[in-house]
Structure 1
Amino acid sequence: MRCQKRFFAAASAALAVTLLSGCGSSEPSFHAKDISGLMPELSYSLTNSKGEPASASDYEGQVRAMFFGFTNCPDVCPTTMAELNKAVKAMPDDKQDDMTVLFVSVDPERDTPEKLAQYTNFFGDRIVGMTGPEASLRDLAKRYRTTFGYGEPNEEGNYDVSHSGAIYVFDEQGKARLLMRSDLTPEQMAADFEALMTEAG
């Protein structure tokens, strides 16, 4: 009798585990870190590469990937932009129009709208450049729990800018959903972007 009780207890526990894993199987599995509910929705008031006001409503209804950088960045920024462009190109043609990459320059002193346009156009037509006053950029960086800083200028007046290498991904409703790092492949990024689009559909 005692053995039967133990058997039924073990069987019940196994059934509970099976049911619980079955309940979670319908949820999307992302390669990037899921930050749903951990950060505020997408919101900014900046200037785009055409010199026009830019806000989150400009690309409403699209999945958006936001990256903080600067055009004089020697390594992280060009590599990240190239990888993001590959990720967009890896998606089906009908999905690419529902994806926009936001390149936010934290170097407004040097990154004019014209320079931003040249930079982003080089990497892909789904990449949009924008910047703004340092105070606005500081507020935006703080909103997403990151920061940036400026190094001392050299004799030519050139200086480095320190910034995060993270990519923030927002769904079609503008909710913060994913945090991507540089260890993801373009194919993994593309799969996550598509998963968000499928989820909304």
Structure 2
Amino acid sequence: MTWPAGRGLVDQTGAALDEARFAGRVRLVYFGYTRCPDLCPTALMTVTQALDALPPALLARLAPVLVAADPEHDGPGVLARYLDTFHPAIVAATGPVAVIDGLAASYAAPIRRHGGLVDHPVDLFLVSPSGMLLGRLPGGIAPEALAGILRAALSR
């Protein structure tokens, strides 16, 4: 589960985004979109609350990432404004639809777009620094439970 280098992925500032950006850190990945009315903001608030519960030393070992499931709408500027509501450590990833879909497929997290709506997994994905999937955490996980899982993964 590596990030596709040189394929046009950028973060919410427009800076290129690749595997080197996450070197040595555990990733917490969520596929979502800014026009999502309920599931995405709820999941990102859960992530925010869990990150707030982590000590700075552990937080530094984590790369929380929102992957834009609707990259045609969610460009860097839109994502930057959206993320202002959530924890500042969260990085957004956006880029060509084919690249986003390929990344989602590598997580067994298919994205379907139709009529302005986006069907995407509600799960969070915990990924090791080497790119190995450590866990697929269910949507609706409590912030306290997520913080505990993150503490355990980051303390290894």
Assess same fold via TM > 0.5.
yes
CA contact (8 A) 2:43 2:140 kept: no
Determine if the alignment matches structure 1 residue 127 to structure 2 residue 84.
no
CA contact (8 A) 1:42 1:176 kept: no
Q: Deviations over 1:111-156 (max 9, x none)?
A: 121111111232111100111111111111111112111222xxxx
* Mean Cα deviation higher: 77-86 or 99-108: 99-108
In structure 2, distance between residues paired with 1:93 and 1:49: 23
In structure 2, distance between residues paired with 1:98 and 1:130: 19
CA contact (8 A) 1:60 1:174 kept: no
Determine if the alignment matches structure 1 residue 161 to structure 2 residue 118.
yes
- The answer for the alignment partner of 1:173 in structure 2 is 130
Determine if the alignment matches structure 1 residue 182 to structure 2 residue 139.
yes
- Correspondences of 1:98-117 after superposition (within 5 Å): 98-117=61-80
Unmatched 5+ stretches in structure 2:
none
Alignment RMSD, CA only? Answer: 1.4
Number of equivalent positions? 153
Report the TM-score when normalising by structure 2: 0.91
CA contact (8 A) 1:102 1:130 kept: yes
Which runs of structure 1 show a deviation greater than 6 angstroms over 4 or more consecutive aligned residues? none
Specify which structure has the higher proportion of helix: 1
Q: Deviations over 1:50-107 (max 9, x none)?
A: 1121012202112210111110100010000000010111112322222221000021
CA contact (8 A) 1:63 1:193 kept: no
In structure 2, distance between residues paired with 1:132 and 1:150: 15
| Paired residue type of 2:136 | L
Q: Deviations over 1:145-188 (max 9, x none)?
A: 12111222xxxxxx111111011111233321011112421111
Determine if the alignment matches structure 1 residue 43 to structure 2 residue 3.
yes
Determine if the alignment matches structure 1 residue 94 to structure 2 residue 94.
no
1:190 deviates by 1.1
Unmatched 5+ stretches in structure 1:
1-40, 153-158
